[in-house]
Structure formats: C-alpha cells, structure tokens
Amino acid sequence: MQKRFQLLVFDWDGTLMDSAAAIVASIQASCEDLGLPIPERERAAHVIGLGLKDALSYAVPELPPSDYGRLAERYRHHYLARDPDIELFPGMREMLAVLKEKGHLLAVATGKSRVGLDRVLEATQLKSIFDSSRCADETHSKPHPAMLQELMAELMVEPESTLMIGDTAHDLQMALSAGVPALAVSYGAHPKDSLTEFNPLACIDMPQDLAPWLARNA
C-alpha cells in the first residue's frame, strides 16, 4: 500500500518518552531551591515542548530574565538526577523500527537542547533510526513552524506528505502553522481537550494504540 505520509516527525518528551512527570517535578524542585513560587502541575506541564527560556518565563512569570540561568541550572540538576529512570513508552522502539523498515523518513522536533537530545538518543540507541532532528536551541521554539519547515526542506518532503505527532498544543499549533497534518497523543503532557481544539487527524489516548494507528493510516 502506498504511504500516505513520507515523513513522520515525532515530538520526544511525552510522545516517545515517558518523561513528562520528571520534567514537571524538576521544574517544581528548581523553584523550591530558589525560594520561588512553585507552579501547579498543570502550569508546569503546559511548558513541556517549549524551549527552556520560553518554558521558564511561562512557568515562573515572577522570575526576572537575569535569573533564568540560575533556574535553568537547577532544572538540569534535578532532571539529570531523574534521567536514568526515564524510559521510552512501551512499544515505541519496535514501532519506530517497523516504520523505518516500511520506508518512512523519521525525524524529531523537540523542545530539548541539542546536547539533551543527543544524550537521550545515545542512551536509547535510537540515533541511527532518525533521518534528522531539530531542537529548540537551534531554531525557533515551538509553536513557531520553523522546526517543521527546516526538516521538510532538508528531507525534501512536502507538507501534505508530512505528519507531526505530538502530545502538546505547541506541537499541534506548530503543525497548523506549517500546513502539516497532525496526530495528537493525550497520554503525555497536555489534556485531551487542549489538543482536539486544533483538529488533529485523531487523538491517541494510550501509548500502545499509536503503532496500530500509524500502521493503518500513515
């Protein structure tokens, strides 16, 4: 059967990796370290997928930009302490291998830094399975469409042949701005109602349902 989507672009945190809870806890612990108001879970989870500067300015609006570096350092400390216990969602490794075997181009568009993404790709041994990637410290942060636009230009794929898969409104808004179809997953950072308002092709509620949907529709 002919592929509907030549290029599949995955968000990382909360889509492929079960890291949303660790990110939220790390943001909250960082604020506690510096004596700042601790954001509620929903507010901290909202920033997942954004670049670090955008994330901090939303999660902790009281923080002056001159102190972003201090909070970022504490965030990295707490996240790296949790990092060894963070795993891919079940079945994701196998799903990616099948998609690659079927001839899809695979890419990552993430709010992680390049150093952070490279570290986790090495740890999961998935670096070779992706054809390209974009990180928030290399181009505009989500929801700006630049990540998708750059990936499509590099891999020479048209928007209608590209699918963005993500767990946040930032992913879906980025796709909408780039003219790219999107698939939402509600098992990650953002609640389902905040995803469906962007009219994705579907909304996947359980990690184990992602691979079957892509097998049928991608």
Q: Which residues form the catalytic set?
A: 11, 13
Q: Which two tokens stand for residue 9?
A: 């672009």
Distance CA 30, CA 160 (A): 41
Q: Which two tokens stand for residue 37?
A: 């108001």
Surface-to-core class of residue 21, CB atoms within 10 Å of its CB (0-12 exposed, 13-18 middle, 19+ buried): middle
Tokens read off for 189: 């950072």
Contacts of residue 119, defined as CB under 8 A and 6 or more positions apart, other chains included, come to none
How far is the C-alpha of 27 from the C-alpha of 142, rounded, in Å?
19
Longest dimension (CA), the chain: 57
Output the CA–CA distances (angstroms, integers) from residue 158 to 19, 85, 110, 147, 182, in the order listed.
31, 38, 20, 14, 14
Q: Rounded CA gap, 81 and 85, in Å?
A: 9
